[in-house]
Amino acid sequence: MLARTLRPSRVLAAVARSMGLVAFLALVACEEDPNLASAWVSHLDNPNEFKEAVRNLDRIKDLKAVPAIGKAWKKWNKPSVALLAIINIARYKEPPCCEQGVTTCARELGCSDYKRVPDFVEAMPFLIEAVEQYEPSVEQSVADATVACDALGLSGSGDAIGVLVATAEKTAQKTEYAKNRVRAAAILALGKFRDPRATTTLIKILEADPEKQPIHLNAAAAIALAASGDAKALDALAKGLFIDRIYHQVRGGITRVGRPAIPKLLAMLAGKDEVTNKMAAERKFDQIAPGAVAFKAALLLGDMRSREAVGPLLALLAQPARTVGIREEAGEKIESPTTTHSGVLSALKLIGPSPEAADGVWKYAQQAGLSPDKQAQAIDVYSFLAPAGDVRSLGAGGVGGPLFAIIQNPEHDPTARLATIMAFARLAVRAEDAKMLRDLGAKYESESAIAEAKMKAAANAGDYATQKEASLISADLAATCKESSHRIDMAVECGSKPEAEQVACYANALKAKDVENGKAGLPRAERALLELYKLGPAAGGALKILLEEAGTSVRVVREMILIALPRIAGTPEKACDECEKRLALMLASQQTQTTLDALNNETRVIQNYFAWAGKK
């Protein structure tokens, strides 16, 4: 009921008929301030007025209205609109009244330092009921239960943990999609709590056999453990690395745990971790995946930017490579080309430049009999570890050095030659080197045209195929030479400036209009980011621009920014709260863009890194 009851009149009745019920209610509500919850609570009991009343109570965000909305929610068969209003009101965070002018709180409490913060106390009974009493056969009820699980997680209430644990552990067949959907929501909500009960349940679900429960529940448990960052989950997460299809979720969990994970990963790398050794023995990894544990440990140590891992990684690189997988085909065992060495090289690239790492990778790249793909990867990584103008790889003046010898040698594998062109362009610093690559590109372009002409004139299929392949290889070499020359141009342009101006020069290259695929701005931006990466903390002046550009959908630029950020921010010695905050906001804004999933996975790893690096 309204505070002041009006006598019905012909005038009001006519208004009601002409304006409609909703407008009429608004008119009457104005007799008592429509910005006060008390003006709308009494309308919750009228089925014709219920939705409008809930909408306005949701707008007003008065906690005192929650019990009344909850009562109406149960009375009218639990409509979603009421439950969502309860959640919206409970989770609302309001700035001080004086910052936003006249508001409900200003009218009721006066303009003061009052500040509404999330408060779920009144909402808890209704949230718990939505979770515990949902109907699996009713889509609306299932959807409301998942939303309520999320709200219970946001509540931070100890009362919510028991409900979420019970829901997450509730048994269900793999085919009971509705029940498992609510279980997944409860699992994810448990990640909001740093509580032994939550961690124990999440570990139990992560370690469950994917043959006996939907794999997305294992994945949800890994994501929740990543959110909690609880080091007690390390053993479970380490084993979870070897559950098919949830590697990225588990990777997120380990990188969020942070510093405590490094000793375990080092033990896995050295083959001395009891937990993963037992798992590997049970699953006969020696027969099907002899290098898998060390390989994944290496990748994670790279994600952690673990400088203490450089020595152990180089030691593993000096040992014979072990494959990460062996499959049987037509009675023959076929080894995966991905090996422990692949993981080591990837990790060293992320950890960053050091004389020790550069020496080890260069020595590895010069080995006789090294496969073309491994040589290509090693040369690529070396270009990240060595300083600009590196004499060892470029030779005196750029011509005649080991890299240029590979580029020009037609007997060398095309894969290695293409990687070497880019590595050369990441290290060269002279305008003459850029011209040399352009001239070489023109030469390969001419060779491609000649081969194409021979292909068209081929007398048989064999000659046709040979010339076609030659034409394509030369065309790829020509395009890579021309594109890569822009990398050297970038180094010449900025490297010639006084040292104090170089950082700004490189950083501004990211804002060029042609930083896109197929344009000169892209390889220029890549070289600029590489130089900032090598400068490390000395490039701190570029941090603001890097964070501004970190959300780009241009893959090469995004990847290079993510590689460079930890070194430039000065971690792990110094925390970068702004880095963590900006990356979190960017991920939230892109969470619905599925085409960016791979880039966002990498971004989340770096966000996790900033959550612990440089902090006690």
Among the candidates 356, 384, 412, a domain finishes at 384
**Cα(494)–Cα(504) distance, integer angstroms:** 9
Residue 332: both structure tokens together: 């023959």
3-state secondary structure of 335: strand
Query: Cβ–Cβ contacts within 10 Å for residue 78, how many?
Result: 21
The answer to whether residues 475 and 445 touch, using CB atoms and an 8 Å cutoff, is yes
Residue 399: the pLDDT is: 62
| Helix extents (H) in 366-430 | 372-385, 391-394, 402-408, 414-427
**Cα(471)–Cα(479) distance, integer angstroms:** 12
Query: Cβ–Cβ contacts within 10 Å for residue 40, how many?
Result: 28
**Cα(262)–Cα(240) distance, integer angstroms:** 16
Q: Which domain holds residue 436?
A: 387-493
Sign of CA dihedral 395, 397, 403, 405: negative
Query: Quick one: 379 and 392 in the same domain?
Result: no
pLDDT in tens, 208-246: 999 999 999 999 999 999 888 889 999 999 999 999 899
Calculate the alpha carbon distances from 199 to 161, 281, 380 in Å. Answer: 11, 26, 41
3-state secondary structure of 333: strand
**Cα(386)–Cα(107) distance, integer angstroms:** 66
Residue 113: the pLDDT is: 47
Query: Quick one: 358 and 294 in the same domain?
Result: yes
pTM comes to 0.86
CA geometry: angle 489, 494, 500, nearest 5 deg: 170
Whether 250 maps to a domain, the answer reads: no
Calculate the alpha carbon distances from 398 to 277, 403, 419 in Å. Answer: 48, 9, 17
Whether 192 maps to a domain, the answer reads: no
- For 280, residues 6+ apart whose C-beta sits below 8 A from its C-beta are 286, 289, 292, 293
Whether 151 maps to a domain, the answer reads: no
| Helix extents (H) in 496-554 | 499-508, 521-535, 543-549
What DSSP state is assigned to residue 616? -
Whether 137 maps to a domain, the answer reads: no
Query: Quick one: 553 and 567 in the same domain?
Result: yes
**Cα(191)–Cα(156) distance, integer angstroms:** 11
Identify which of 340, 273, 348 has the alpha carbon closest to the alpha carbon of residue 310: 348
Which residues, given as ranges, of the chain have pLDDT below 70? Answer: 1-31, 95-115, 397-400
Query: Quick one: 525 and 536 in the same domain?
Result: yes
Query: Quick one: 77 and 20 in the same domain?
Result: yes
Residue 115: the pLDDT is: 62
Identify which of 560, 495, 494 has the alpha carbon closest to the alpha carbon of residue 522: 560
Among the candidates 122, 150, 174, a domain finishes at 122
Whether 159 maps to a domain, the answer reads: no
Query: Quick one: 339 and 414 in the same domain?
Result: no
Among the candidates 474, 493, 512, a domain finishes at 493
Query: Quick one: 368 and 436 in the same domain?
Result: no
Total number of domains constituting the chain: 4
Calculate the alpha carbon distances from 12 to 341, 371, 415 in Å. Answer: 83, 89, 84
Query: Quick one: 278 and 314 in the same domain?
Result: yes
**Cα(421)–Cα(484) distance, integer angstroms:** 7
Query: Quick one: 327 and 307 in the same domain?
Result: yes
Query: Quick one: 294 and 393 in the same domain?
Result: no
The answer to whether residues 325 and 288 touch, using CB atoms and an 8 Å cutoff, is yes
Residue 107: the pLDDT is: 45
Whether 252 maps to a domain, the answer reads: no
Calculate the alpha carbon distances from 302 to 27, 348, 378 in Å. Answer: 65, 6, 15
Query: Quick one: 460 and 398 in the same domain?
Result: yes
The identity of residue 217, as a single letter, is L
Query: Quick one: 264 and 371 in the same domain?
Result: yes
Q: State the helix-helix crossing angle for 21-29 and 10-19, rounded to 10 degrees.
A: 130
pLDDT in tens, 278-301: 999 999 999 999 999 999 999 999
**Cα(90)–Cα(94) distance, integer angstroms:** 11
The answer to whether residues 353 and 534 touch, using CB atoms and an 8 Å cutoff, is yes
Whether 611 maps to a domain, the answer reads: yes
